[in-house]
Every structure is written in C-alpha cells, then in structure tokens.
Amino acid sequence: MTEPLSTVNSLINTSLLPVTWHNDAIRLLDQRYLPDTVNYHTLNTLEQVVDAIQTMQVRGAPAIGITAAYGVVLAARQRFQESNHNWKTEIQSDLTALAESRPTAVNLNWALNQMRNEICNVEGDPESILLDAAIQIHQSDQAANLAMADFGAELLAGSSAVLTHCNAGALATGGYGTALGVIRRSIDNGLQDIYATETRPWSQGARLTVWELQQDGIPSTLISDLAAGYLMQLGKIDWIVVGADRITANGDTANKIGTYALACLAKQHQVKFMVVAPTSTIDWDINNGQDIPIEQRTVAELLPDCYQNRESLVSAWNPVFDVTPADLIDAVVTEKGVVINPNHENMQQLRYNG
C-alpha cells in the first residue's frame, strides 16, 4: 500500500489539502464558501464527484485531476458491485462523464488516462489497485510542487516583489501549490511583497490565495484586477508568477481569464513573467494555444440578479480562461526543469531531455 499522504513531506501543510482519501471515500474541502466557511464534504459516488468538479467545490487543474482519479476508484467500486464481469465496460461512461466535467484543465485527461491504463491491467476486485494508483497521482503532484518550488525560487532569487493571479496554491493542487509553491519557497530568499489579484468573477485570489497565505502566516496584499497595470507602472513588481491549466507543445499557456492581459502589461513594463506547472499540464498533442478549448461558464456568475430574467436587455460573456502566447512568457517551470523563452524547440528539449 502507498504511504499515507501526510508523510510525503513535512513542508506540506496538511490542513490545506483540498482533497484526500479518508475512510473509504473522498474528503473534499468545499472552496465555494471559503474563507467564511471551512466545510468538508464526503463524496461516495461518481455523480457527487462530477458535480463537485462542475460546480467548483474543487478547482485548480491538478486538484481536479486528483479528484477525478479518486472518483474513478468510487466508480469502479460501484460498477464492480453491480456487475463484476462487465465492470470494465460499464465504467467507460463514468470516465467520459469525468472527462467532460471541465474542459480546459488538461490534468483531468492526464489523470484519467493513468487510471484507464490501470483499469486495463487489473484483474479481480479493482478497488485497492486503483486506489494505489490514485494516491500515486496525488503524491507525485505534491512531489512535483516541491521540485518546482526549488526551480522557481532560483529564478526569483534577488527579487523582492511578485504578483500572482487566481489561486495556484495548495488549494488548487495535491498540496503546496505551483505558483504559490514558488512564492512560499522564495520567502526565505528575500521575497518581501506578495501581491494577489482579486480574480473576478469567482474571486479565487480574494477568497483563496490571500486566505491560504494567511493560514501559513505569510502576509500579502490584495489588489483589484484593474490595479495591476498601475502597480507595474510604479515599478513595484519584479515577476508575475502564475499557474496553468494547459500548456501546448509550443509553450502557449491557458490560465485564468486575465492572465493574458497581465502578460501584455508585464511586457510593457519590463516585468518578468513565469508560468509554473507540472508536466501533467502540458498537452503535447496540441501545437498551439488556438486549439485549447476555453470553458464558458454561466452568465449567473457575472450578471446581477436583476438582469437574470427573460425581459432583461443585458446579457453577459463569461470565458473563464484565456491563452497567453509563449513569446510573452519568460520561463515555464516544471518539475523536470525550466524552459527559458519557451517555444516549440525549447519545449521539445524538456520533453525528451527533461
């Protein structure tokens, strides 16, 4: 049996894990109500897992993938109990439902492919073997975060101020975080000022990032999304550090809506731009960012209640990710190494030599 998650590394604050396997079920921190309410749900069925991903009880590309992997364990248990000879056929629709629960984060497909391979090989009752595989996915994400923190902190050495967008922290991953892992690790290296955008409309920055940092005793400064340009113009930022939902073979990067605007502003103000993501976020099958599916969420996330009726003349457009072209990115930091000035050729070097 794989080691319990809490023993992976003492650097990980286990009170900030968004998802764990506990008492034969998934224990999920409901991120919709943070920071006001810290509420955990127990998920026992595939339907509950799909709903939790779609409604963003769990969010952040790696955390979605890990939750889906544990969801496969629940689905396999159910299918095996219902028809033990046919469960490998029956579970296919569950894998499809999970894959379609959110479209942009490629870690979801990556984790499901790992679980698909396990399903092909397993004989007899699948639960313990699939659980081992899911825990392995979870632990390797934590290990990747710790490795990326080291690589990213080297790049940040000597910098005193960073800006991050959305939440790419422990809450968005298996623990510790990607962009926020680099920032955590840089504090002992002299990093002084951490700015976080609000990240409208879901407020991942205002509700999650600054809360998460506070849980670890790390001070931060929240800004409105629109204050980022002025902050850079004042010369107060050295690096922008963000996560990613999908990176294509040429280094183009999909991340939370507004990331592209930040990258353009960074270029204008000679601020460096770093993307931190595990290699499970790289989609080698897509050559450039134009082919990344961009999730559109309900207008209800944007529109005030008074406009949500048939007579209303006001509608809304709510894409929740955008694509930053590789030429606006100074470094892509992964657990296998750093790609400086990402382009197709440099990314291939990471793929085959990283």
Chain positions contacting ligand MRU, by CB under 6 A: 59-62, 105, 166, 168, 172-173, 178, 204, 243-245, 255-256, 320
> Cβ(178)–Cβ(253) under 8 Å?
no
- In the complex, minimum distance from the CB of residue 172 to ligand MRU, in angstroms, rounded to a whole number: 4
CB 163 within 8 A of CB 175: no
Copy the structure tokens of residue 320.
């929740």
- Beta carbons within 8 Å of 114's beta carbon, 6+ residues apart: 69, 133, 137
Q: DSSP states of 77-133 as a string?
A: HHHHHH-TTTHHHHTHHHHHHHHTS-SS-THHHHHHHHHHHHHHH--S--HHHHHHH
Contacts of 157 (CB under 8 A, 6+ apart): 186, 189, 190
In contact, 305 and 311? CB cutoff 8 Å: no
Which residues are part of the catalytic machinery?
245
Q: How far apart are CA 140 and CA 118, in angstroms?
A: 16
Between the CA of residue 338 and those of 78, 154, 275, 330, what are the distances in Å?
Answer: 42, 10, 10, 10
Toward ligand MRU, which CB reaches closer, 61 or 263?
61
Name the minimum Å distance from CB 276 to ligand MRU. 8
* Separation CA 148–CA 160 (nearest Å): 19
Nearer to ligand MRU, 134 or 320 (CB): 320
Show the CA angle centred on residue 136, arms to residues 132 and 137, nearest 5°: 120
CB nearest ligand MRU: which residue? 243
Closest CA to 35 of 207, 256, 247, 284: 207
Task: Closer to ligand MRU by CB, 131 or 266: give it.
Answer: 266
What's the min distance (Å) between Cβ of 278 and ligand MRU?
A: 8
The nearest distance, CB 32 to ligand MRU, in angstroms, is 11
Please identify, using beta-carbon distances, which residue of 109 and 255 lies nearer to ligand MRU: 255
Residue 266: in which H helix or E strand, if any? helix 259-268
Report how far residue 268's alpha carbon sits from residue 47's, in angstroms, rounded to the nearest whole number. Answer: 46
Tell me how far, at minimum, the Cβ of 242 lies from ligand MRU, in Å: 6
Asked whether 52 and 98 are in contact (CB, 8 A), the reply is: no
Q: CB-wise, 87 or 110, nearer to ligand MRU?
A: 110
In terms of CB distance, is 91 or 338 closer to ligand MRU?
338
